[in-house]
Amino acid sequence: MLRHEPKQLSFHSELYNKIPENHMLKKASKVVDFSFINDLLADSYCKNFGRPAKEPEMMCKILFLQHLYNLSDERMETEGNLNLVFLYFLGLNPEDKLPDKSLYSKFRTRRVGEETLDEILEETVRQCVEHGLIESDGVSVDVTHIEANTIKKTPERIMKHLARKIMKNYEEEAGEVLEGAPEVPDYKEIEDHNEAKMVMKDYLLSVIDKVEDSAQTQISKTSDSIKKAKEILDDPKFLNQKGLRSLIDEDARVGRKSRTQSFYGYKTEFTMTTKERIITSVRTESGSYMDGNHLSSMLKATKKSGINIKEVFADKAYFRKPLLDELEELKITPYIPVSPLIYRIDESKYTYNKDADEWQCSYGNATEKKKYFKTSNKNGTFEGYKYYFEINQCKTCPLHDECAGKAARKILKLGKNTAEFYDISQYQKTEEFIEKYKERASIEGKIGEVKRFNGLYRARGYGRLSVSKQSKLTAIAANIKRIAALVSE
């Protein structure tokens, strides 16, 4: 049962006058009114029955403080009861005690969902707009990686653990040891990694066959573990080490920081106002997530907060035709460097004339016609245009053999969007773009801040949902700190 009671009315509340007016939590409390959280979560409580519940606003504030100061549940309860400014921020009297630490995880998992945290984040940003703290119309977008709260394992080790779990469940439910169980192979002694995987796969399948051949085939835990093992083996990514790598955290995946560096865990994508550095939206996916897939929903959430977006800043990972078209449709100016993976043209050798739709080589030879083409291979479908250079000029060119080879003339094979990307690349060389793009640097600092000081470098729990909640709570906590700084400014 949810009951609203007046707080901070005791005689001891006079102690709060000792808190400096410029303290971060005191400043943020004057700007953001978190009382809306009670109405937001009211439907998740029984109105007339049950024991009086802890106020949702206070419980959410406890979670904010945890991520603001990077505190565990145990440390939050201990330090919260001793910290005067914590009690003030939570709306308690100085003599009151914080709820027991066991309630924090229950509230976090049962009451607070991803959508709830999104609404809290949007409302806090909306209040900042209302108070005039946010005036910019540009946002930066970027992704950071979060290490999983477990180690990644080889397929051999996972299959060994799956077999062990099946046999353990069988022994518990059948009350007997599995008769004729195959011996566990020593896969570490096998030098060929692929051979080791096949050996362990055969071992796991033989364990499954032994259990299914026994009389105890309908026991629930055992059959569930067998079903799970079969699903994992049926996934073609598993043996290629691109899928499941841990039975503890099944959502984590291997991702890449660069061509030479990889990580195991999750990716969290942020949108942030470029001038005020207030985070407006957060999305979390596995480590294999492609940057920018949530851009549309994140911009929509930012607009709901009352921010009129006119500019978007991002790195070259966001330079993709669908994203650029989407921003153009929304009438948003993109400041995104061209990606060499998408735009493949050597500008030291070729230039483009948009009006004539022709390419010109460094020796002055121009194309005279073009043809559309479309090819398919194992990597997908590629479509574009073939530009044909003027044949007589090509034949007399001193670089003919080096450039065209045995062909009579050079044929320039380009993607269908290359000409459009050429114009963009030329603009990005101007002083105007270079100076404007410097505004994006603020999001790099913000991401470094939340990872270093708010514990976002590593997941606290397991699974995408848990990491998503951690990321959103961290964003709200970082905004509280930033709001206080903006008030000071």
**pLDDT mean over 427-438:** 94
Confidence at residue 281, expressed as pLDDT on a 0 to 100 scale: 97
Q: Are strands 253-256 and 262-273 parallel, antiparallel or unpaired?
A: antiparallel
**pLDDT mean over 291-303:** 95
Closest CA to 297 of 274, 328, 275, 330: 330
Residue 322 phi, psi (nearest 5):
-60, -40
Q: Which of 44 and 164 is assigned the larger pLDDT?
A: 164
Q: Which of 208 and 44 is assigned the larger pLDDT?
A: 208
Q: Which of 201 and 14 is assigned the larger pLDDT?
A: 201
Neighbours of 185 (CB within 10 A): 15
Question: What's the rounded Cα separation, in Å, for the pair 229 and 441?
Answer: 46
Q: Are strands 367-377 and 380-389 parallel, antiparallel or unpaired?
A: antiparallel
Question: What's the rounded Cα separation, in Å, for the pair 421 and 434?
Answer: 17
Question: What's the rounded Cα separation, in Å, for the pair 331 and 326?
Answer: 9
Residue 366 contacts by C-beta under 8 Å, 6 or more apart in sequence? 353, 356, 358, 359, 360, 389, 390
Q: What is the tens place of the pLDDT at every residue in 34-91?
A: 999 988 888 776 565 444 446 889 999 999 999 999 999 999 999 999 999 999 999 8
**60-64, 258-262, 288-292, 347-351, range with the lowest pLDDT:** 258-262
Task: Quickly list DSSP for 298-323.
Answer: HHHHHHHTT----EEE--GGG--HHH
**1-5, 276-280, 319-323, 332-336, range with the lowest pLDDT:** 1-5
Question: What's the rounded Cα separation, in Å, for the pair 471 and 459?
Answer: 9
Task: Report CA 372 to chain centroid distance, whole Å.
Answer: 38
Closest CA to 134 of 286, 31, 22: 31
**Is residue 394 packed enough to be buried (19+ CB in 10 Å), middle (13-18) or exposed (0-12)?**
buried
Confidence at residue 8, expressed as pLDDT on a 0 to 100 scale: 59
Three-state secondary structure call for residue 268? strand
Domain range 138-148+253-337+441-476, CATH class:
alpha beta
Q: What is the tens place of the pLDDT at every residue in 177-197?
A: 888 888 999 998 998 989 999
Closest CA to 353 of 336, 365, 344, 337: 365
Locate 404 and state its tokens.
């065209």
Q: What is the tens place of the pLDDT at every residue in 226-273?
A: 999 999 999 988 988 888 999 999 999 999 888 788 999 999 999 999
Confidence at residue 217, expressed as pLDDT on a 0 to 100 scale: 52
The pLDDT of residue 313 is above 90: yes
Q: Where along the chain do its domains lie?
A: 11-112, 138-148+253-337+441-476, 155-239, 350-427
Could you tell me where the beta strands, DSSP code E, fall in 210-345?
253-256, 262-273, 279-286, 311-313, 333-335
Q: What is the tens place of the pLDDT at every residue in 109-137?
A: 988 999 999 999 999 999 999 999 999 89
Confidence at residue 52, expressed as pLDDT on a 0 to 100 scale: 46
Residue whose tokens read 């707009």: 129
